[in-house]
Amino acid sequence: MLKPFIAANWKMNKTVGETEEFIQSFIPMIEGITDADILIAPPYTSLGAAFRLLQTTNIKLAGQNVHYEEKGAFTGEISPAMLLAEGCSDVIIGHSERRQYFSETDEIVNKKVKTARKNSLEVILCIGESLQEREGDKTFEVLDRQLTGSLKDMQMAGISIAYEPIWAIGTGKTATPGQANEAHAFIRGWLKKNKDGAERVRILYGGSVTPENIEILMAQPEVNGALVGGASLKPDSFAKIVKGSI
Ligand code: 13P
């Protein structure tokens, strides 16, 4: 069995002060837990403060995005070196909100994955279908296209996949455990067919994960972790999710 991987994506939430407050209460709640990998992706402005509090723990720190160029005239963007300097070991790439609101295509996502890995950042690559695509029976076609485009010319070392059906994000509508497992099994099958080391890749589920549904989701054979939005914003709720994943 792969070690559970539970990641918090705070999106555009929490100031530096709020970040410090969260981490100070969260650390004692998960003390002694070594059976799950835990990661927090705060906004860029909170990375430094988060790292100062997390560096003596085994909680990993991630950026929510990264640019595909190493440096240059890209106003408002962030480079891999900047994330590394703030203490990040990981980065989330290709989140549906980036694809939807910032026009990230699979080609751009692929360039970001390449630059991140070249700089030794581990990657959580997000994929997932919209409600319209699911209802049109296009889920596997969309996943196939996103995997093919985003992982072009890449090996899987240092990359996890997050399956986040867009219709389940922030809506309170979780995919059923069966739907999640079916999509994860498709992703695993795709990886086995196209990449080496497919059995070592952790596939996380994201979309309205809560302390109440984590156990049943993790009980699915192909679900190896979770990427949590809303329910990761409160320390006790995120700690319960971590504990429920083991
Ligand atoms: P919610 O957990 O708020 O549905 O968000 C999921 C998500 O997008 C994590 O990246």
Say if residue 57's pLDDT is above 90.
yes
Residue with CA at minimum distance from ligand 1 atom 7? 229
Distance 139 CA to ligand 1 centre (A): 19
Residue-level pLDDT at 173: 85
Q: Look up the CATH number of the domain holding residue 237.
A: 3.20.20.70
Residue with CA at minimum distance from ligand 1 atom 9? 229
Average model confidence (pLDDT) across the chain: 97
Assess whether the C-beta atom of 170 lies below 6 angstroms from ligand 1.
Answer: yes
Assess whether the C-beta atom of 228 lies below 6 angstroms from ligand 1.
Answer: yes
Could you give the number of structural domains in the chain?
1
pLDDT bin (cut points 50, 70, 90) of residue 115 is very high
Closest CA to 54 of 90, 87, 32: 87
CA dist 214 and 243 (Å) reads 9
Provide the domain limits for residue 52.
Answer: 5-244
Assess whether the C-beta atom of 116 lies below 6 angstroms from ligand 1.
Answer: no
CA dist 210 and 214 (Å) reads 6
- Does the reported pTM lie above 0.75? yes
Q: Which helix (H) or strand (E) holds 82?
A: helix 80-85
209: its two tokens: 């994960």
Mind listing the pLDDT tens digit for each residue in 189-221? 999 999 999 999 999 999 999 999 999 999 999
Measured over all CA atoms, what is the biggest interatomic distance in the chain, rounded to whole angstroms? 48
Q: Determine the 3-state secondary structure of 168 from DSSP.
A: helix
pLDDT bin (cut points 50, 70, 90) of residue 178 is very high
Contact 125, 94 (CB under 8 A): yes
Say if residue 174's pLDDT is above 90.
no
b/e map of 116-147 (b: 16 or more CB within 10 Å)?
bbeeebbbbbbbbbbeebbeeeebbebbbebb
User: What are the backbone dihedrals phi and psi of residue 5, each rounded to the nearest 5 degrees, phi first?
Assistant: -125, 110
Contact 35, 61 (CB under 8 A): no
Contact 94, 114 (CB under 8 A): no
